[in-house]
Amino acid sequence: MNKNIVRLPSKLYRHLFTEGGDKLIAVYCILKNSRENQDKYYAYKARNNRHVSGFSLLRSKTNLSLTVIKKYVPVLISMGLCCINEVGDVCVLGNNKSNALYGDKKIVPVRIGKNLTETSYNTMSVRLHSEERQQKYQIGNKTHRRDLIKQMDDPNSLKELQQARRIVKKHGSEIKITECVVLSNQGFAKLKDGTVNNKQKGAYWKKKLKQNGIVTSQRRFNRIKKMSFSEYRLYKQYAVCSPNTTYKYGWLVEETISSFSSVCLVSGEIK
C-alpha cells in the first residue's frame, strides 16, 4: 500500500468538506499519514526538558503550522475524529473505526502532497475526477440514444425500435451531445466550494490546478463565418458582436466552454 495515499470513506470525505472544505480534509489526511505506523502521537520530553504535547506535539511531528493546527484540529475534535488525552497524546481515528462510524464501502483516495496546499489541491482532484467520469457516462448514454434514433427507419430488432420510440417520447428526436468533457470557470468555482456565478474565482482555481498538474484544458471555438482577416477587422470595427469572438484560421469564431481532463492521481472516486 502506498504510504502517501490516505483512503477515506466517501461519507467522511463529504462531511469533512462540508465542515471545512479541502483544507480540513487535507489536515485530517496529513495527521493520519504522519503517525509513523502508530495508533496515535505520543507526548514526549524535549532536550530542554519541556513537555511537548497537544498542538505543539502535532507541530513537531507534521509539516503543519501551529496556526493551521489551531484552526482545524478543534473542528476534527468536535467531529469525533481526533482527541487529546490527559497526558497530551493526540489520537486520530483509524481506518476501522472511521469505516464503522460512517458505514460506507465507497472509498476516496487522497494523495499526500509536499505541503498542506498541495494536499488540498489533491483533495479537490477527487471531485474533478468524479465530475469527468459522470460526464463521460452521460456522453456515452446520449450517443447510444442518438444511434438508436438514427436506426428507427431500419432497426436491428423490434426491441431497439421500441427503445428508440421511448427515447423520442421522453427526450425528443434531437439529442444534443457535447463530444468532450467540459467545465466552465463557474463550474470550477462550484466544485471548489459551492460558489456559483463567480467566473473570477473559478478562473483562479483552474489556473492553480493546471499549474499543479491536476487538470489539463483546451480552448474550444465554434465557427461562425468564413472570412478574410481584412473582413474580420471591418466586422469587429462596425458590427456589434460578442466579446468572445475572434479570428482563427480564416474563420470568425466564438470561444465556448473549454474542455478539461483531470489527472487521476490514484484509482477511485466518489459518488
Q: Are residues 175 and 229 in the same domain?
A: yes
Q: What is the pLDDT of residue 264?
A: 62
pLDDT of residue 238: 82
Q: Are residues 255 and 174 in the same domain?
A: yes
Question: 269 pLDDT band (50/70/90 cuts)?
Answer: very low
Q: Which domain holds residue 254?
A: 127-262
3-class DSSP state of 57: helix
- Asked whether residue 269 is assigned to any structural domain, the reply reads no
pLDDT higher than 90, residue 226: yes
Instruction: Give mean pLDDT, residues 234-261.
Output: 88
Beta bridge partners of 221: 255
- Let me know how long the chain is: 271
Whether the pLDDT of residue 2 is over 50: the answer is yes
Greater confidence (186 vs 264) lies with: 186
Does pLDDT of 37 surpass 90?
Answer: no
Q: Which of 112, 147, 178 is the last residue of a domain?
A: 112
Which residues, including other chains, have CB under 8 Å from residue 135's CB and lie 6 or more apart? Answer: 181, 182
pTM of the model: 0.84
Same domain, 183 and 100: no
Domain containing residue 20: CATH number: 1.10.10
Residue with cell 426491441: 159
For residue 271, the model assigns a pLDDT of 43
Query: Which has the higher per-residue pLDDT, 174 or 246?
Result: 246
If one compares 191 and 269, the residue with the highest pLDDT of the two is 191
Name the CA radius of gyration of the chain, rounded. 26
113-157 tens-digit pLDDT: 999 999 999 999 999 999 999 999 999 999 988 888 888 888 888
Place of cell 423520442: 168
Same domain, 214 and 152: yes
Residue 262 has pLDDT above 90, yes or no: no
Q: 122 in a domain, yes or no?
A: no
pLDDT band at 48 (very low <50, low <70, confident <90, very high): confident
Total domains in the chain come to 2
CA atoms of 197 and 77, how far apart (whole Å) = 34
Task: Based on the fold, state whether residues 238 and 140 are members of the same structural domain.
Answer: yes
Other beta carbons less than 10 A from residue 50's beta carbon:
10
Does residue 238 share a domain with residue 135? Answer: yes
Q: Is 156 exposed, middle or buried (0-12, 13-18, 19+ CB in 10 A)?
A: exposed
User: End of a domain among 78, 112, 146?
Assistant: 112
Among the candidates 54, 78, 112, a domain finishes at 112
List pLDDT tens digits, range 64-121: 999 999 999 999 999 999 999 999 999 998 888 888 888 777 889 999 999 999 999 9
Q: Which residues contact 269 (CB under 8 A, 6 or more apart)?
A: 108, 126, 129, 130, 133
Does the pLDDT value for residue 241 go beyond 90?
A: no
Q: Are residues 142 and 257 in the same domain?
A: yes
Q: What percentage of the chain has pLDDT greater than the value 70? A: 96
Residue 254 domain flag: yes
Q: By three-state DSSP, how is residue 68 classified?
A: helix
pLDDT value of residue 267 = 47
Residue pair 24/34 in contact (Cβ under 8 Å)? The answer is no
Q: How far is CA 268 from CA 47, 231, 232, in A?
A: 44, 51, 48
pLDDT of residue 223: 92
Q: Does one domain contain both 63 and 146? A: no
Output the nine-digit C-alpha cell for 127.
471531485
Return the percent helix, strand and coil in the chain, to nearest 5. 50, 20, 30
Within a 13 Å sphere around the CA of 239, how many CA atoms are in the beta-carbon half? 12
Element (H, E) at 251: strand 251-262
Q: Do 121 and 110 contact (CB within 8 A), yes or no?
A: no
Domain shared by 247 and 200, yes or no = yes
Query: Quick one: pLDDT band at residue 265, thresholds 50, 70, 90?
Result: low
Q: What is the DSSP string of 185-228?
A: HHHHHHHHHS--S-HHHHHHHHHHHHHTTSEEEEEEEEEEEE--
Write the pLDDT tens digit of every residue in 5-34. Answer: 999 999 999 999 999 999 999 999 999 999
Q: What is the mean pLDDT of the chain?
A: 89
Confidence of residue 266 (pLDDT cuts 50, 70, 90): low
Q: What does the longest C-alpha to C-alpha distance in the chain come to?
A: 87
| Residue 82 and residue 43 share a domain | yes
Identify whether 155 is part of a domain. yes
- Give me the residue label for grid cell 428508440: 164
Q: What is the pLDDT of residues 166-177, one digit of tens each?
A: 888 888 888 888
